Amino acid sequence: MDGREQMNIVIVGHVDHGKSTVIGRLLADTDSLPEGKFESVKEYCRKNSRPFEYAFLLDALKDEQAQGITIDAARCFFKTRKRDYIIIDAPGHIEFLKNMVTGASRAEAALLVIDAKEGIRENSKRHGHIVAMLGIKQVVVLVNKMDTVNFDETVYNTIKSEFGEFLEKIKIRPIDFIPISAFHGDNITSKSDKTTWYDGATVLEQLDAFENKKNNTQQAFRMPVQDIYRFTEKGDERRIVAGTVTGGTINEGDEVMFLPSYKKSIIESIEAFNVRPRKSAGTEEAIGVTLKTQIYVKPGELMVRRDEPQPFVSSRFRANVFWVGKSPLVKNKSYKLKIGTMRIGVKLQKIINIIDAAEMNIDTFKDQVERHDVAECVFETLKPIAFDTISEYEQTGRFVIVDNYDIAGGGIILESVNDLESSLKEHIKSREYFWEKSLIEEYQRELSYGHKSKFIVITTGSEGFEQSIQDIGRRLEKKLFEMKHKVYFLGISSLQSGLGLELSAQTEDRIEQIYKLGELARIFTDSGQIFITSVFNLDDYEALSLKKLNQPNDILIINIGESPFSNYIPDASIEVNEAEDEIYQILISQDIIIEYYI
């Protein structure tokens, strides 16, 4: 699109109310179609003895031509003199609402289409709620097929009054209601002489009147980290942090922070594929940055500028969610949350109220969210994540929930919730209450084994040290075993094959694995043993979680080389050479191992 201004629009409405026809008419009337496309579609209809439909002009909808319905959220490129548009044609069938949720989540404005003859349908209200849930503020209602009611102003006013009242209840204030006939072109790109009683804008004029918030350079900078690349050829040691800017601008020399890890650095360079070197980048640009201080960050983190307003970092938030899953949304079941590039486990903690999307009835007593319900809820992620509220920043205030690999819901974040009483704390409290105590006292094991129990975690932030910290753990285990101590090292390969775990960088899996590792440590240390493990690039939250999960027993966190932590202070930081001997001396100095037991 040659660097022109771009904007995303979603068009929604009940089945057969004319969404695709509106888009097809816009494409045709503004010469946005590929050469010969209009003629080829008309010929297709002639050969198949079907009446021509403007909806068939949408390039990607071959299935729609075969089945007569739009089965996907089709992305259509459409242009005016002012800017380029990506118009998302979202399906109207209830079965395809989940497609619409994912399509609408990329939009900055919405067109709601209502058939003048059929009027307001149940799905019309549901779609209004979805638009509200996704925080889309710029909304226009298209009262379509006005030709079927002879362009009757009374019909238009009735729909405007009734649907406007409904939208007001869900806090949507539509910019306008435009009476149109998409098939005949009335009020699409030019004023219709059949609606002299209407003095508002045409659809085309209204599209160009929408405010494009993506171009607002005053927004705080946000870039979800997609991946980290390193090139080793010809001595290239750059580590490039890649992602797409969702808002604001970034410049060489800016100090940045990565959340939720709170790691900080300064932008050394801004990279992009096949372009000249640049000093800055802005909204919607896919870029990579190099940092002056080499820090280890993970995909899913959010890069922000330190001199600008910061997002929230929390594991709990209050949100509105629209549920389209086959199974109800229930408390304490594990789901996957997707926000930006972050993928993480999430649970429903509390249902505040549930709204019937069609009837607007509010229920505060239901204990689960049924399909097509709109609910205000409190969610909790497995570890703190970075996010904004929808009122402050739309792109990082929207999320989707996945259940068994299917998109089951979409929503917006309303506020951060205090997470002092997190599920982890509640779990540990419950676990300790029900823990079956041994008849053997702790001091008896110490006397028998010649040492106290300890959970030793060896970590590093130095790239390429993964194998080194495992080797240190194994050598430490051997050293202690040869001294007749009760010791066990659990390596990465054992975690993978024995427990089906993998301490990977994928946030959605890794924190669950950390929790299971902490539970194992609780068992080993309760038995009086010294339990050793190694975890590459342990972060602050993971270290604190392991410490909590091992309670009431002690943990010893040893850092080798470059520290992976932002604020957490490890018990010791040592170098690779003879690290196991240094750890042994630490155990003696802390009276974990007593050299001479009487």
Mean pLDDT of 391-420: 87
Contacts of 323 (CB under 8 A, 6+ apart): 329, 369, 370, 371, 372, 373, 374, 375, 408, 409
pLDDT given for residue 36 in this prediction: 74
127-142 burial, b if ≥16 CB within 10 A, otherwise e? bbbbbbbbbbbbbbbb
β-pairing verdict for 286-291 and 74-79: unpaired
Backbone angles phi, psi at 467, to 5 degrees: -70, -35
pLDDT of 549 reads 94
Q: Are 422 and 248 in contact (CB under 8 A)?
A: no
Token digits of residue 308: 């600008």
Predicted pLDDT of residue 126 = 80
Least confident of 58-72, 336-350, 407-421: 58-72
- Cα 360 from chain centroid? 28
Q: What are the structural domains, with CATH classification, of the chain?
A: 6-214 (3.40.50.300), 222-305 (2.40.30.10), 313-422 (2.40.30.10), 435-589 (3.40.50.300)
- Residue 103, pLDDT above cutoff 80: no
Residue predicted with more confidence, 45 or 461: 461
Nearest to residue 241, comparing CAs of 311, 297, 307, 310? 297
Please compute the mean of the pLDDT values over residues 524-545 and round it to a whole number: 94
361-372 per-residue burial string, b: 16 or more CB within 10 A, e: under 16: eeeeeeebbeeb
**3-class secondary structure, 312:** strand
Check pLDDT > 80 for residue 419: no
Give the mean model confidence (pLDDT) for residues 544-572: 93
Q: Read off the pTM.
A: 0.72
Average pLDDT rounded to a whole number, residues 408-425: 83
The residue whose two tokens read 């319900």 is 373
> Could you tell me which residues come within 8 angstroms of residue 560 by beta carbon, excluding any fewer than 6 positions away?
458, 459, 460, 462, 465, 468, 469, 472, 573, 574, 575, 576, 579
Residue 63: pLDDT band by 50, 70, 90 thresholds? very low
**Torsion over CA: 89, 94, 97, 98 (sign):** negative
Q: What is the mean pLDDT of residues 239-263?
A: 94
Mean pLDDT of the chain: 85
Burial 465-493 (b: 16+ CB within 10 A, else e): bbebbbbbbebbbeebeeeebbbbbbbbe
> Which of 26-30, 68-72, 178-182 is least confident?
68-72
Q: How confident is the model at residue 90 (pLDDT cuts 50, 70, 90)?
A: low
Q: Report d(CA 267, CA 277) in Å as an integer.
A: 14
Provide Rg for the chain, Cα atoms: 29
Q: What is the mean pLDDT of residues 176-203?
A: 94
Give, for 546, the enclosing helix (H) or strand (E).
helix 540-549
Q: How confident is the model at residue 1 (pLDDT cuts 50, 70, 90)?
A: very low
- Confidence band for 51, pLDDT divided at 50, 70 and 90: confident
Element (H, E) at 425: helix 423-434
Give pLDDT, residue 316.
94
3-state secondary structure (DSSP) of residue 399: strand
Give residue-wise pLDDT tens across range 136-147.
889 999 999 999
